[in-house]
Structure 1
Amino acid sequence: MTATSNSALDRPEFVLAVLEWLDGREVPADVISDAFTLLANERRRLLLAVMTSYGEAITLPDAAEEVAVRETGRAVTELSGEQVANVYLSLYHDHLPRLVDAGLLEYDQERDLVSPAPLQ
């Protein structure tokens, strides 16, 4: 069996676990759909994971660097400036605004700082 087939075997279990977790909770369908849409993109999931691991404000360039490291599995010294710049631009223009709008992250554009949003 390959690694791909192993991860495919885990998918049904994951889906069932999510459905079980949702069972009995009053979560509007649009909230569930929005959450899955946000989490559907790997780069957004990685940014959320980076911010969770730091737990405090970091610069967007540092966040982009860490996302690039996690995406590629390479050390930061092995990444080109262009790779990190591409991640930065996609975070800045696409992924970060979505996560800020969803109330998951905060962004101070003047200082270029990203921080986890306080959960209510």
Structure 2
Amino acid sequence: MRKPAPSWSDAAALAFANEFDPATVTTVCSILGNRRRQLAVLYLLTCDTDEWVSLANLARWITAVTTDSSLDAATGSDYHNIKESLRHTHLPTLADAGAITYDADRTRLTPSDTLPFLGRLLFHLLIVSTATDKDMT
């Protein structure tokens, strides 16, 4: 019988244990453990660090991706739910981790210099997760 594959967070901990302190590994896994934050990181990787992005545009893009719809059709309750969760939970989490600068009063954000680091880790975890999924079948 095959041993169960480690979860992606276990894989991350193993991959980065020698390179980073445990608190950093825990923080990164916590940040990247949420799909909306993962999508926010992916979207912001396409932006310059001096480019401000509106909360509405980010929420619309995440809504389109998660509902498999066009940007024009990314409206309604799904959009509102995603926008509010970004506003109150996910963007403050990314800002506290130093991944973005978040101007809550003006509902805009910009990627920080550390966001590409999170992006590289996210891509690595997605590759590890995909490889692990293939091993399980």
TM-score (norm: length of structure 1): 0.76
Which residue among 107, 112, 117 is the counterpart of 2:107? 112
The answer (yes or no) to whether the contact 2:100–2:111 under 8 Å persists in 1 is yes
Q: CA deviation at 1:98?
A: 0.4
* 1:82 is aligned to 2:68: no
Which structure has more relative contact order (CA 8 Å, sep 6+)? It is: 2
> For 2:27 and 2:17, how far apart are their aligned partners in 1?
18
- Superposition map of 1:1-120 within 5 A: 18=12, 21-22=15-16, 24-25=18-19, 27-55=20-48, 56-119=51-114
Q: 1: distance between equivalents of 2:90 and 2:29? A: 14
> Unaligned regions of 5+ residues in structure 1, if any?
1-10
Q: Give aligned pairs, total.
A: 110
Change (3 A) 1:111 1:16: closer
**Percent identity for Structure 1 against Structure 2:** 25
RMSD of Structure 2 on Structure 1 (CA): 2.6
- Give the gaps of 5 or more residues in structure 2: 115-137
- Calculate the TM-score normalised by the size of structure 2: 0.67
The runs of at least 4 consecutive aligned structure 1 residues that moved more than 6 Å come to 14-17
